[in-house]
């Protein structure tokens, strides 16, 4: 995994974790680009996409997007499971109700 991002539907970055050293300027550019791509996708579209030389796996829980950038040979389904378990962990710790994805999100 190269990095993990959590951001809102409004495009506000909530959390970022980088697993490879990356310059701040490049991080900002990558975050901005990836948020635009993910936020522009329709809810019924696949949660996997090819972006640059990476695969991006994302899932929306409540109003937050959990987004992971993985290498080409990594497994997308395991990454989705990792995201789900991370959300469960956050839900247990903070009790925020993130644990259930919005099935029919309300239009803006």
CATH architecture of 3-94: 2-Layer Sandwich (3.30)
For the entire predicted model, the pTM comes to 0.83
User: Six-digit token pair at 66?
Assistant: 């959990």
Q: Cβ distance 67 to 43 under 8 Å?
A: no
pLDDT of residue 105: 47
Q: What is the C-alpha separation between 73 and 95, in angstroms, rounded?
A: 35
Q: What is the C-alpha separation between 74 and 94, in angstroms, rounded?
A: 30
Listed by start position, the domains of the chain span 3-94
Average pLDDT on 97-103 reads: 55
Q: pLDDT of 67-81, one tens digit each?
A: 999 999 999 999 999
Residue 29: CB atoms within 10 Å: 12
Say which residue, 15 or 104, is predicted with more confidence.
15
Q: pLDDT of 35-88, one tens digit each?
A: 999 999 998 999 999 999 999 999 999 899 999 999 999 999 999 999 999 999
Alpha helices by DSSP H, listed for 4-75, are 24-40
């Amino acid at each position: 995994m190269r990095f993990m991002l959590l951001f809102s539907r409004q495009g506000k970055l909530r959390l970022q974790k980088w697993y490879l050293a990356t310059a701040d300027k490049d991080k900002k550019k990558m975050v901005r680009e990836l948020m635009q791509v993910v936020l522009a996708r329709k809810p019924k579209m696949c949660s996997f996409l090819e972006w640059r030389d990476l695969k991006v796996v994302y899932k929306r829980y409540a109003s937050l997007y959990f987004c992971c950038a993985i290498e080409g040979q990594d497994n997308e389904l395991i990454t989705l499971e990792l995201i789900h378990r991370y959300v469960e962990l956050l839900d247990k710790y903070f009790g925020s109700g993130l644990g259930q994805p919005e099935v029919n999100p309300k239009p803006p």
